[in-house]
Chains A and B, each alone.
Chain A
Amino acid sequence: MSNAVITMRNISKIFETEALQTHALNGVDLTINQGDYVSISGPSGSGKSTLLSLLGLLDFPTSGDYFIEGLDVTKLSLDEAAEIRNVKIGFVFQSFNLIDDLTVFDNVALPMRYYDKKPTANQIKQRVNECLAMVGITPRVSHYPNQLSGGQQQRIAIARALIAKPAILLVDEPTGNLDSKSADQVMDVLGELNHQGTTICMVTHDPRYADMAKTKLCLLDGTFLKLPSNKEIA
């Protein structure tokens, strides 16, 4: 328990629209330990993205308890949640979500602009270059995202997610918008990052990529199916 990064207990999420209630998650329990590489798969609409958004504090559960590194994050204010996202969570989206008007450098540096303690220009430069190196993109820092290929963009998005040395990297279908060659590159980057100690939780429905994770989970209708983990097999 001491090295649990993520602890979720009995988490539910209900979406209410005018006509109907959608139970996107039904009493999910999840623990992710330091250094783990978790993949979550499941059919479309099973609640993967919803779970990831709750994990990333992009949204709040309807009920249940959620701890990040032992800190209760269930009842945070919007700004408190923003602060945790800023320093403890790295998020990688399926559609990259890079900001068109910012250069590669500024996109990667973006989270640092929201630090409580403003870093110096030098610190930013150093850290951005480190992270870009980690994902294998060094030049092109003054390019704009739309001048780059999808694979490059996704790796830049990963660099951005890494910038604050987060406790966990949350990755939502990182290869969904990529050709298979770029996808392989991105998955290699993620594998390497985990190898170096980064905790990762990734949503994917590509079984090939799910198999790269240490722990494989499968969601169906908002609850986990119990699967043996790779570790257990090993």
Chain B
Amino acid sequence: MSYQLKQANISLNKKPGFVALVISTMGLTLGALLCVLTLGYVLLYKPLPYPDQERLMVVDHAFIDQTRNGQPGKVMFKAFTYPALMALQNEPTAFLETAFISRKQGVLTNHSALPTVEATYVTPDWFTLLNIPMKFGRAFTPSESIDSYNPVAVISHKSWQNEFAATPDILEEKVEFGGVSFKIVGVTAPDFVEPQVYRVRRQTQLWLPWDFDPLNEADRKNWGRIFGARMVGKLANGVTPRQAEQVITPIVNNQWQAAMAGNPQNAGRSIRLELRSFESVILGDSAQVIYLLLASVFGLIVIATTNIANLFMSRTAQKQRALSIQAALGAKKRHLFQALLAESALAMFYSLLLALMVSSVGFWLLQQYLHTLLPRIEEVSLNAFTLGAALVIGSLIALLLARLGAASINYKALNTTLQSSGKGTGVQVSKRLRQVLMVCQVAVATVLIFVNIGLFKAAIQSINTPMGFEAKNVHSLTLASASATLPPANDALPVIEQIKQTLTALPQIASVSHTSSPLDTFGTWMPGLSTVGGNEKIRAEYKVVDEQYFQLIKQSKLAGEFFSSQEVRDKKSVMIVNESFAQLFSVNPTKPIDFLGKKLVFRGDKAFTVIGVVKGIEVPGKTKAMPRVYVIKRPSGPERTRNRLAFTIKTKDNQSVSRQQLVEAIKGVSSQFTANQWMSLVENRHQMLFTQYTWAITTAVLTLLTIILAGIGLYGIISYAVQMRKFELGTRMAVGAKRADLIRLIITDNVGSMLLGVLISVITLIGLFAASGNELQLNITSMVMIFILTFGVISLVSLSACYLPLRGFINRPAMFSLRNND
């Protein structure tokens, strides 16, 4: 075999162009495959890097409404209550170990740069559950268990480098956060991979003991919902998630029912605890992304392999003479196959080397650009699994290439080749085989192009959807409190009003609204609104706004009035609704007639008078405008300081303000608050559209790659066929065929295979849609449009592939094609 390899090497060296084409095509596509395969392996298959990871569970606390019309047992919302957490704290049968976590973004107030950091409040079990490795110091221990109030902190390795300049004396330092000073007792190791329980791009910089979570503070005593809190646990040996649910649900539900007894509002409701594996929580809906990428690169591999197969077969045909001589000297079919295999194996070996390089670049790109989109990206690197997979795929392709090459040798005819001086026919890529290759290429390419254009269109549509307000020069600002507990609204609101005045007075600032960003989530209004006497409750999202808000962001008014300063000062029960809300009441948003002035009732006693209708805003990346209402004060309950810490601010044209400047300005008003997050809405919008941008780029690249590869492949196949027909073309020219006649001839010859390919792709696509239920969310018209576009692209590629190889013959005098140039 080593002799064969040596011969193969010599033979390949003689054809650098051929070798370069094979290696670049296979190297690039195999590299892409390796990348996606590794990603898939890490996300879908590789265990999480935590002990007993398969037993790690996230517990969801769901409120169930048994009485809801038509949908009994429906989950109303999922959020823990503090007493429920406490009830589960030392649950002995379902879980071996449990931990609570909660999150908060805030400012390190004793740090000179006043950086905004992501903090996570955890019970000490969080560290043992995940077996978090430490670089310095210690993790949390029982000395930080619930109700110990021990003010210590652990910081992340990144934070140690970024915020503390990697000082070796870090364990001497303190951090002040939320009005409490914490002594740093540990730094996590750089190789710790944080499970991203909340969302993909969130990375904790600061871990604090659970006791200091200010959100819990207010809710400790009652059964109010606390949205940020999560419970995680490790299942006890031999306990299944369903069994665990059955054990812990009654513990919480019984206590809750007892506590709620006599409260008619909660009649027919109950609590259900649901377990989700850590894996599924962290994976989220990334699996779909992976499957799509996998399907795409496999498609590319098929196209590339087809291309290369054609190249190999044509090349074998070119070696007619050499093969004939070998046959004459006694080489058996098997020997010829071995020689071909040596060549294809060598070519695939080089391709794999290139693929490894390509995939390393791919991993780097993934880590640079996709870490905010996909979880566990930092774990992505070459490993035995992907290497093995690449080797297997490479070997299979090498084998296939050699087989196809051997299949094109007519061994019996080889012996006659040497004797007859004419055009030999001992080796030829059969017409049938070429047609199969072509059908294959067209089918795979059409499916890939269709799906990718569909995804591209969806992404671009999201990106291009106008938001319905002007984000230019508009920013959001949130305040952080300098103390552990927030002052009550009565004390805080005058101070916040003063801050607003001070900010308004800054020379760079055009106007300030004491309202959270339009891109912020809205509140949900339960159980809903109805007209007086009506009993249909209409659910809507709500936002508390002031008189500057609509003008500041230029949200357009369709009818009625905006809030006046007078109404805001008097906290009037008035309401502005958006278009889709008005439509729920069958009201024409631009001519609401008697809808304006109508009272909408919330929970029997509270009524709001509708005074205006505005056009809805579209939150980037979300599909549709929700029914929404705008009010001056919260619909129920007292004002809470924590709901009133956000501003929307417009700067003057060509003026900018830094967070530092705002920090200074606010310092002048009060030491109670400081600037927390300051972000331009344009920037915010880009962040929210990150997924869409990524999809747009990925799908565009995949579409282009497909077109290029399929184009090269079809060109190669047809070009070979045209070469084989050189004399025929010349003869046809000699008897009077014009250029158009010959182009028509070649097209007619190939159109059948191409249409068959398209037909197969249509069937495949219909099958895909039937199986996956229209993931692309396309309606029939856009499907038809995209199909027409895809068909157009494929036709163009195919027609070019027909024309280009012909060009060299039909644009020359006929003699050129008739000449025997051996």
Q: A interface vs B, CB < 8 Å?
A: 53, 56-60, 78-79, 81-83, 85-87, 91, 93, 95, 97-101, 110-111, 113-114, 160-161, 164
Complex formed: what's the CA distance from A225 to B734 in Å? 29
Contact of A97 among B739, B740, B816, B818 (CB under 8 A): B818
Residues 745-770 of B, flagged 1 when their CB comes within 8 A of A and 0 if not, give 00000000000000000000000000
Can you report 25 A-B residue pairs in the complex whose CB atoms are below 8 A from each other?
A: A53-B818, A58-B733, A58-B813, A59-B814, A59-B815, A60-B813, A78-B810, A78-B811, A79-B738, A81-B813, A82-B736, A82-B738, A83-B736, A85-B736, A86-B736, A86-B737, A93-B734, A93-B818, A97-B730, A97-B734, A98-B731, A101-B728, A113-B741, A114-B732, A114-B738
Contacts of A56 in B (CB 8 A): 734
With A78-B811, A97-B818 known as contacts, the answer to whether A83 contacts B738 (CB < 8 A) is yes
With A97-B727, A99-B728, A99-B731 known as contacts, the answer to whether A114 contacts B736 (CB < 8 A) is yes
Contacts of B810 in A (CB 8 A): 78
Contacts of A161 in B (CB 8 A): 735
Contacts of A82 in B (CB 8 A): 733, 736-739, 814
7 pairs of A and B residues whose beta carbons are closest in the complex: A86-B736, A59-B815, A111-B735, A58-B815, A58-B814, A97-B731, A114-B736
Complex formed: what's the CA distance from A82 to B814 in Å? 9
Contacts of A87 in B (CB 8 A): 736
Contacts of A53 in B (CB 8 A): 815, 818
With A97-B727, A97-B818, A99-B728 known as contacts, the answer to whether A110 contacts B735 (CB < 8 A) is yes
**Closest Cβ of chain A: how far from B818's Cβ, in Å?**
7
Complex formed: what's the CA distance from A160 to B810 in Å? 22
Check B813 against A85 for contact (C-beta < 8 Å): no
Contacts of B730 in A (CB 8 A): 97
Apart from A58-B814, A97-B734, A114-B736, list 13 A-B contacts with CB within 8 A: A53-B815, A81-B814, A82-B737, A82-B739, A85-B733, A85-B734, A87-B736, A97-B730, A97-B731, A99-B728, A114-B735, A114-B737, A114-B741
Q: Is chain B's binding surface mostly helix, strand, loop or mixed?
A: helix
Check B739 against A79 for contact (C-beta < 8 Å): yes
Interfacial residues of chain B within 686-739, with CB under 8 A of chain A in the complex:
727-728, 730-739
Complex formed: what's the CA distance from A52 to B813 in Å? 14
Check A111 against B811 for contact (C-beta < 8 Å): no
Q: How many residues of B contact A (CB 8 A)?
A: 22
Contacts of B735 in A (CB 8 A): 85-86, 91, 110-111, 114, 160-161
Contact of A91 among B727, B734, B737 (CB under 8 A): B734
**Closest Cβ of chain A: how far from B744's Cβ, in Å?**
11
Complex formed: what's the CA distance from A68 to B100 in Å? 99
A52's nearest neighbour on chain B, judged by CB, is B815
Contacts of B734 in A (CB 8 A): 56, 58, 85, 91, 93, 97
Contacts of B740 in A (CB 8 A): 79
Complex formed: what's the CA distance from A124 to B736 in Å? 16
Residue among A58, A95, A101, A164 with max Cβ neighbours from chain B (10 Å): A58
A164's nearest neighbour on chain B, judged by CB, is B736
Residue among A53, A60, A78, A82 with max Cβ neighbours from chain B (10 Å): A82
A100's nearest neighbour on chain B, judged by CB, is B728
**Closest Cβ of chain A: how far from B817's Cβ, in Å?**
9
**Closest Cβ of chain B: how far from A102's Cβ, in Å?**
9
B423's nearest neighbour on chain A, judged by CB, is A95
Contacts of A85 in B (CB 8 A): 733-736, 814
Interfacial residues of chain B within 768-822, with CB under 8 A of chain A in the complex:
810-811, 813-816, 818
Contacts of A101 in B (CB 8 A): 728
Contacts of B738 in A (CB 8 A): 78-79, 82-83, 114
**Closest Cβ of chain B: how far from A144's Cβ, in Å?**
14
Contacts of B727 in A (CB 8 A): 97
**Closest Cβ of chain A: how far from B721's Cβ, in Å?**
12
Complex formed: what's the CA distance from A87 to B816 in Å? 21
Complex formed: what's the CA distance from A87 to B737 in Å? 11
With A78-B739, A97-B727, A97-B818 known as contacts, the answer to whether A110 contacts B732 (CB < 8 A) is yes
B729's nearest neighbour on chain A, judged by CB, is A99
Complex formed: what's the CA distance from A100 to B425 in Å? 12
Residue among A56, A78, A98, A160 with max Cβ neighbours from chain B (10 Å): A78
**Closest Cβ of chain A: how far from B375's Cβ, in Å?**
59
A86's nearest neighbour on chain B, judged by CB, is B736
Contacts of A98 in B (CB 8 A): 731
Check B813 against A78 for contact (C-beta < 8 Å): yes
Contacts of A91 in B (CB 8 A): 734-735
Complex formed: what's the CA distance from A50 to B736 in Å? 19
Complex formed: what's the CA distance from A60 to B739 in Å? 17
Complex formed: what's the CA distance from A112 to B685 in Å? 67
Residue among B727, B731, B736, B811 with max Cβ neighbours from chain A (10 Å): B736
**Closest Cβ of chain B: how far from A57's Cβ, in Å?**
8
Contacts of B422 in A (CB 8 A): 95
Complex formed: what's the CA distance from A56 to B814 in Å? 10
**Closest Cβ of chain A: how far from B746's Cβ, in Å?**
14
**Closest Cβ of chain B: how far from A39's Cβ, in Å?**
21
Contacts of B818 in A (CB 8 A): 53, 58, 93, 97
Contacts of B816 in A (CB 8 A): 59
Contacts of B814 in A (CB 8 A): 57-59, 81-82, 85
Complex formed: what's the CA distance from A8 to B302 in Å? 57
Contacts of A59 in B (CB 8 A): 813-816
**Closest Cβ of chain B: how far from A149's Cβ, in Å?**
16
Contacts of B737 in A (CB 8 A): 82, 86, 114
Contacts of A57 in B (CB 8 A): 814
A84's nearest neighbour on chain B, judged by CB, is B736
**Closest Cβ of chain A: how far from B319's Cβ, in Å?**
23
**Closest Cβ of chain B: how far from A61's Cβ, in Å?**
11
**Closest Cβ of chain B: how far from A73's Cβ, in Å?**
13
**Closest Cβ of chain B: how far from A54's Cβ, in Å?**
9
B728's nearest neighbour on chain A, judged by CB, is A99
Complex formed: what's the CA distance from A83 to B814 in Å? 12
Interfacial residues of chain B within 439-497, with CB under 8 A of chain A in the complex:
none
Complex formed: what's the CA distance from A95 to B728 in Å? 12
Contacts of B741 in A (CB 8 A): 113-114
Complex formed: what's the CA distance from A59 to B422 in Å? 23
**Closest Cβ of chain B: how far from A15's Cβ, in Å?**
11
Contacts of A164 in B (CB 8 A): 736
Complex formed: what's the CA distance from A85 to B737 in Å? 9
Contacts of A99 in B (CB 8 A): 728, 731-732
Contacts of B736 in A (CB 8 A): 82-83, 85-87, 111, 114, 164
Complex formed: what's the CA distance from A91 to B422 in Å? 21
**Closest Cβ of chain B: how far from A64's Cβ, in Å?**
15
Complex formed: what's the CA distance from A82 to B733 in Å? 7
Contacts of B732 in A (CB 8 A): 99, 110, 114
B422's nearest neighbour on chain A, judged by CB, is A95
Contacts of A160 in B (CB 8 A): 735
B817's nearest neighbour on chain A, judged by CB, is A58
**Closest Cβ of chain B: how far from A165's Cβ, in Å?**
13
Residue among B422, B732, B810, B811 with max Cβ neighbours from chain A (10 Å): B732
Contacts of B815 in A (CB 8 A): 53, 58-59
Complex formed: what's the CA distance from A93 to B818 in Å? 10
Complex formed: what's the CA distance from A212 to B672 in Å? 120
Contacts of A100 in B (CB 8 A): 728
Residue among B737, B738, B741 with max Cβ neighbours from chain A (10 Å): B738
B733's nearest neighbour on chain A, judged by CB, is A82
B741's nearest neighbour on chain A, judged by CB, is A114
**Closest Cβ of chain B: how far from A7's Cβ, in Å?**
20
Complex formed: what's the CA distance from A211 to B733 in Å? 31
Complex formed: what's the CA distance from A99 to B732 in Å? 9
Complex formed: what's the CA distance from A114 to B733 in Å? 10
Complex formed: what's the CA distance from A114 to B422 in Å? 29
Complex formed: what's the CA distance from A160 to B737 in Å? 14
Complex formed: what's the CA distance from A84 to B111 in Å? 92
A102's nearest neighbour on chain B, judged by CB, is B728
**Closest Cβ of chain B: how far from A76's Cβ, in Å?**
11
**Closest Cβ of chain B: how far from A226's Cβ, in Å?**
28
